[in-house]
A and B are shown apart, each in its own frame.
Chain A
Amino acid sequence: MRITVNDEPREVSAATLAEALDELGFGAARIATAVNGGFVPATARAGHRLAEGDRLEVLAPMQGG
């Protein structure tokens, strides 16, 4: 199915958020995720089913002031 990942269109075969992150290569990275603007905690990723057109945000530590 087609989703967007950090605003980039991507094709994934995964059914859940956890599977999608593996498929996209985020595996064990220190990241936080949001789907369609709402935070999805790490503990909920395996149970979070993705749907066509979902907007996935994958955020990581970055420089800040």
Chain B
Amino acid sequence: MRDFYGVALDCPLMLGTAQYPSPAIMERAFRASGASVATVSLRREAGGGQEFWRLVESLGVRVLPNTAGCHSVKEAVTTARMAREVFATSWIKLEVIGHADTLQPDPFGLVEAARILCAEGFEVFPYCTEDLVLAERLVDAGCRVLMPWGAPIGTGLGLVNPYGLRALRAQFPEVALVVDAGLGLPSQAAAAMEMGYDGVLLNTAVAKAADPVEMARAFGLAVQAGAAAHGAGPMPPREMAAPSTPLIGKAWLE
């Protein structure tokens, strides 16, 4: 059984804490989703940070701080160090952004930052692509969890490269894999779980839904359904039709 640096999660849903209409709706969305993990960030203290932290603590979930918005290795590493102190966890969602429009990770900076942080005892959750060679380098750097994107952050396009995600799953049977970013619908989260992924991480799809609480509940159900389906061993697809109702005993009615 794959886990997250020794931690088994009750629910494979990881939910972001940004962009909700209100803190109260965020809290209700978390409870409705059953999510086990909340992602958070570090920003300049402008008055709201302490209150926000009390709310997150009251959710009773694990916290996964991110290095969102970092474009250089130095920035990401420093942010991770600060996050470890503030949130009292070695978990870090490592983002090193390489492209302004697509928010595609910088694979070279990501590997370098992952190497530094793993050596310092961090438990790194790298936001990466489905590239197999990048994944190999991240595992070599010490990562035991990989978080490939489904689609660019905030797009809601779903799993744009299912072939690549399946290949990654097949290539790294020992590594916990989480589809992070780009999900828009619960069916896409279910599809990731059906592929054998160990979790999904999303934010915008819930926070920007017309009813975030109901959408959170839908995602919670979807990851459960997808995980159960994977465990149940899906039938192999085939091109030709095959009748499911027995032909034996069919009446002659011509």
What is the interface of chain B mostly: helix, strand, loop, or mixed? mixed
Whether B203 is near chain A, meaning CB under 8 Å from some CB there, is yes
With most chain B CB atoms within 10 A of its CB, the pick from A6, A42, A64 is: A64
Interface size class of B (residues with CB under 8 A): 20 to 34
Q: How large is the interface on A (under 10, 10 to 19, 20 to 34, 35 or more residues)?
A: 20 to 34
B78 contact from A26, A38, A60, A61, Cβ within 8 A: A38
Q: Is B153 an interface residue when CB atoms closer than 8 A count as contact?
A: yes
Residues of B within 8 A of A59 (CB): 42-45, 82, 86
Give Cα distance in the complex from A26 to B49, angstroms.
Answer: 11
Residues from chain B with a CB closer than 8 A to the CB of A39 are: 78, 81-82, 85
Digitize A23-65: 1 where CB-to-B-CB distance is under 8 Å, 0 elsewhere.
0001001111110011101100000000000000111111111
Chain B contacts with A in 8-65, Cβ cutoff 8 A: 16-20, 39-46, 48-50, 52-53, 56, 65
Contact A30 to B65, CB < 8 A, known contacts A39-B78, A59-B82: no
A59 to chain B, nearest CB (A): 4
- Which residues in A have some Cβ–Cβ distance to B below 8 Å? 6-7, 26, 29-34, 37-39, 41-42, 57-65
